[in-house]
C-alpha cells in the first residue's frame, strides 16, 4: 500500500525576513540551510532532510503551503491520481523550483490551503549523525526542538477535508470535536504516523493557520522553552499546560510576524486499529486546555 510517511515541511509567510530568521535560529533553535530569492530554508537538529521550514518574505503573515513526504515516485503518482479522483485539481511543481527539492504534486485542500506531496529532497543528516550518536548536540541554541511536528489549520467544511485525508491520502482520525448532538464536526485530528496527530483542523475561516508546532522531549523542555521565550520577551499566547486532546504538553507563542508557534511534548501513540476519540463542544475547553478548562479569546481568534 502506498504510504504518506509524515508531514515534511511548512512554508510560512513573514513580514520581516531577517528578523524572522533571527527568531527561528536563535530562539527556536533551527539551522539555516540555504537561501533562494526571498526565501530562507531551515531544519531542526534531529531532521535528516534539507529543510522542514521555509520562511518567505510577504506583505501578509500565514501559511504559504504545507507538504507531506511519500516513500517513492510510484507513491507520488498513485496519490496524484487519488487526489484527482477526489475532485481536486493537481499541478506538478518542477524539480529545482525551490532549493533542495525534487518534483512535487500541488493541490488546494477543501479548506483553501495549498498543499503538496513529494518524495525527493536533499539529504543533510542530523546534528549527531548515525554512527555512535550522542543523544543531543552540544552547542544547540534556543528551544532546540527535534523536528517539525504538526500544523493546526482552520476551515469551514471539516467533514469534507477530513474525508479527503482519509479517502485520498489514507490518513486516519485520532480525535474529533463535535457538537453535543454529534451532528456538526468542529475539530478533526488526523494522523499518518504513530503520533497523536500530524495535522489538525478546527472550525473557522478557510485558508488560515492556527499554529505550526515543533516537538520537544518532555514537560521539562516545555518549561525550558517558556524560560527562553521570557528571556527574549517573545509574546505568549498560552503558558505551559496540558492538552486533553492528544494528552500533549504544550506552550503557545508568536513569531515576529504573528504566526503562532507551539512547543509540543509527549502525546500518546496511535495505531491503525484505534477508535476515534470524541470530545463534545461543551467539554472543548477541557479538551484543549485540560487544567484551565476554558479557551482564551486570543487562542480562538488570533489566526494568520
Burial of 262-292, coded b for 16+ CB within 10 Å and e otherwise, reads bbbbbbeebeeeeeebebebeebebbbbbee
Grid cell, residue 170, equals: 489514507
Pairing outcome for strands 172-178 and 185-191? antiparallel
**How far is Cα 278 from Cα 284, in angstroms, rounded to an integer?**
10
Instruction: Return the closest-CA partner of residue 40 out of 67, 13, 78.
Output: 13
| 291 a catalytic residue | no
| 32 a catalytic residue | no
- Annotated catalytic residue within 51, 106, 210, 211: 211
Radius of gyration of the chain (CA): 18
| 197 a catalytic residue | yes
- Annotated catalytic residue within 101, 175, 249, 262: 262
What letter would DSSP give residue 283? G
Burial of 81-105, coded b for 16+ CB within 10 Å and e otherwise, reads ebbeebebebeebeeeebbbbbbbb
DSSP string for 243-254 = -SSTTEEEEEEE
- Annotated catalytic residue within 51, 65, 197, 210: 197
- Annotated catalytic residue within 150, 175, 210, 249: 150
DSSP string for 100-114 = TB--EEEEE-TTS-E
| 252 a catalytic residue | yes
Locus of grid cell 492538552: 243
- Annotated catalytic residue within 146, 243, 268, 294: 243
Let me know: does 219 contact 265? Beta carbons within 8 Å. yes
| 262 a catalytic residue | yes
**How far is Cα 35 from Cα 30, in angstroms, rounded to an integer?**
14
| 113 a catalytic residue | no
> Annotated catalytic sites, by residue?
150, 197, 211, 243, 252, 262
Amino acid at each position: 500500500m502506498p504510504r504518506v510517511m509524515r508531514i515534511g515541511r511548512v512554508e510560512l509567510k513573514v513580514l520581516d525576513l531577517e528578523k524572522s530568521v533571527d527568531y527561528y535560529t536563535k530562539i527556536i533553535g533551527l539551522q539555516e540551510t540555504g537561501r533562494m530569492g526571498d526565501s530562507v530554508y531551515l531544519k531542526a537538529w534531529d531532521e535528516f532532510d534539507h529543510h522542514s521550514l521555509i520562511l518567505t518574505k510577504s506583505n501578509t503573515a500565514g501559511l504559504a503551503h504545507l507538504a507531506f513526504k511519500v516513500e517513492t515516485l510510484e507513491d507520488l503518482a498513485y496519490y496524484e491520481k487519488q487526489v484527482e479522483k477526489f475532485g481536486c485539481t493537481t499541478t506538478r511543481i518542477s524539480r529545482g523550483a525551490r532549493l533542495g527539492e525534487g518534483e512535487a504534486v500541488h493541490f488546494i485542500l477543501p479548506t483553501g490551503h495549498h498543499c503538496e506531496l513529494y518524495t525527493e529532497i536533499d539529504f543533510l543528516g542530523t546534528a549527531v549523525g548515525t554512527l555512535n550518536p550522542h543523544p543531543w548536540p552540544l552547542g544547540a541554541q534556543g528551544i532546540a526542538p527535534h523536528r517539525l511536528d504538526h500544523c493546526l489549520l482552520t476551515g469551514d467544511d471539516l467533514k469534507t477535508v477530513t474525508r479527503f485525508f482519509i479517502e485520498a491520502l489514507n490518513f486516519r482520525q485520532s480525535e474529533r470535536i463535535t457538537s453535543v448532538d454529534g451532528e456538526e464536526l468542529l475539530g478533526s485530528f488526523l494522523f499518518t504516523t504513530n503520533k497523536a496527530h500530524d495535522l489538525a483542523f478546527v472550525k473557522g475561516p478557510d485558508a488560515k493557520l492556527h499554529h505550526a508546532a515543533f516537538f520537544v522531549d518532555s514537560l521539562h523542555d516545555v518549561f525550558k522553552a517558556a524560560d527562553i521565550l521570557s528571556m527574549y520577551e517573545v509574546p505568549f499566547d498560552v503558558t505551559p499546560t496540558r492538552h486533553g486532546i492528544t494528552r500533549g504538553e504544550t506552550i503557545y507563542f508568536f513569531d515576529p510576524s504573528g504566526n503562532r508557534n507551539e512547543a509540543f511534548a509527549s502525546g500518546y501513540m496511535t495505531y491503525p486499529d484505534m477508535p476515534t476519540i470524541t470530545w463534545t463542544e461543551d467539554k472543548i475547553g477541557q479538551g484543549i486546555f485540560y487544567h484551565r478548562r476554558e479557551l482564551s479569546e486570543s487562542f480562538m481568534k488570533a489566526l494568520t
